[in-house]
Amino acid sequence: MAEELNAVIVSIEYRLVPKVYFPEQIHDVVRATKYFLKPEVLQKYMVDPGRICISGDSAGGNLAAALGQQFTQDASLKNKLKLQALIYPVLQALDFNTPSYQQNVNTPILPRYVMVKYWVDYFKGNYDFVQAMIVNNHTSLDVEEAAAVRARLNWTSLLPASFTKNYKPVVQTTGNARIVQELPQLLDARSAPLIADQAVLQLLPKTYILTCEHDVLRDDGIMYAKRLESAGVEVTLDHFEDGFHGCMIFTSWPTNFSVGIRTRNSYIKWLDQNL
């Protein structure tokens, strides 16, 4: 990226679980980004302040999306971003039965139960909740707290038919209200950028989202692209039919996969054309 884009690349070493838990990771990336955007720091690294992009993959895509939304709500940071680029991002923990979660329930690298456990880890929650969350008991119809955001996750309207196929929504009538009560972070847009208000989304910059067919998170990215487009944001959705979660890191021998190289090149090409 640095060579092909002639860009300065800053990788933020945000603190990880179990050293810290949500929302400390958000605070880390906001703090580091604010520091880097100081005029004297940009000047030191010879960075054009009009050509700033935030980006991340997987959990980093979650933090980049959250960071972008934080920028829209901070007067000192507003309009500072030219682009955001999200690579198979994690964007919500309220529906673990989207078509891509159902289709890829046991797909290697990131099967569904592992993703649910990662969310529980992030919130310093109880593993006893995992099985209930897998079947959406945490957002059942009797969980009033979840009612307000349910429409923002309605994949039957947000996903094209080519992705919904014959999958059916999993909506429990009665569930476990204690989960959301003990883990209110589930309903916080800083952890789940997909559920942010439209007023926040419409202030976001031009966006690139890369999704992979063989990935539980595929629909998170596609739904976010749809919500951003509906809010008037210019979005490029770059979907790879043969992609899998994490594939972009497989670009060097002995795991130099074709799809790893193609996703990386496509991502860098978009940045080159738009940054």
Q: Give the distance between the most distant pair of CA atoms in the chain.
A: 57
Q: Which of 58, 100, 140, 191 is catalytic?
A: 58
The tokens of 243 are what?
């992609």
The tokens of 150 are what?
């349910």
Report, in angstroms and rounded to the nearest whole number, the Rg of the chain calculated over CA atoms: 18
The residues near 165 (Cβ < 8 Å, ≥ 6 apart) are: 99, 103
The tokens of 50 are what?
């009009």
SS3 content of the chain, % helix, strand, coil (to 5): 45, 10, 40
Determine the Cα angle at 25 with ends 35 and 65, to 5°.
80
CA distance 101 to 202: 27
At 29 the three-state DSSP class reads: helix
191 tagged catalytic: no
Burial of 217 (0-12, 13-18, 19+ CB in 10 A): buried
Contact assessment for residue 159 and residue 99, using Cβ atoms and an 8 Å cutoff: yes
Cβ atoms within 10 Å, residue 85? 25
Q: Which residues are catalytic?
A: 58
